[in-house]
Amino acid sequence: MVVKVYGPAYASPKRVLVCLVEKEVEFETVHVNLLAGENQNPDFLKLQPFGSLPVIQDGDYTLFESRAILRYFAEKYKYQGTDLLGKTIEDQGLVNQWLEVEAQNYHPPLNNLVLHLMFSPNFGIVRDEKVIKESEEKLAKVLDIYEDRLSKSKYLAGDFFSLADLSHLPFTSYLVGPVGKAYMIKDRKHVSAWWDDISSRPSWLKTLEICKKYNPLA
Ligand SMILES: N[C@@H](CCC(=O)N[C@@H](CS)C(=O)NCC(=O)O)C(=O)O
């Protein structure tokens, strides 16, 4: 039975899709329309009680939270496709460290920019200039730290592509695209080279191709 991934229209599920492509795992997607409130249907809430995407079903095993799903597949298919975990225990520690940085430091201000600049006024979000300004400032500080880190190693956890880099793909793609703040990446030499590298990986291009028929704003 192939893996099912719920929610291909949206950014967090794309984190899972690009991981599955890197790991050469077969999957199918199940569209859940957030604007139509399908994530609040009782059947969906049985899979994900918080009503968020993504959710995966691997046989009769169900899992939600995109980064937990990344770790699950990267570990389950450790010896298949791209190694995304790091080979030594020290490398694995660094992968987890930067994956946490993505989740705790990078994602929150970026998510605010996405919600206020891309999704407002959908989902009842009212554009708030103060939130936009403060979020951009916070994200800029995080990116300065990335610039320093990426001046010392090609990827975040070292000289190998890992879950830590992969996890940045969907929301950074919004930042340089519909959010209209590509300069935040392009103005930082090492961040810019890193972004050009990871966003041109065949796995990401394939993910975008698979998902292009879905519009997250429709
Ligand atoms: N921490 C969750 C966040 C997921 C999330 O925010 N998903 C968005 C789509 S990108 C969503 O489902 N939003 C609607 C909602 O949470 O009600 C994860 O990484 O899986």
pTM: 0.97
Q: What's the gap between Cα 36 and its chain centre? A: 23
Q: Which domains does the chain have, with CATH numbers?
A: 3-83+203-212 (3.40.30.10), 89-201 (1.20.1050.10)
CB of 52 shorter than 6 A to ligand 1:
yes
φ and ψ of 30, to 5 deg: -125, 115
| Residue partners of 106: CB distance under 8 A and separation at least 6 | 139, 142, 146, 168
Question: Quick check: CB of 81 below 6 Å from ligand 1?
Answer: no
Q: Per-residue pLDDT for 1 more than 90? A: no
Tell me: the pLDDT tens digits for 106-129?
999 999 999 999 999 888 899 999
56 Cβ closer than 6 Å to some ligand 1 atom: no
In a 13 Å sphere around the CA of 199, the CA atoms on its Cβ side amount to: 17
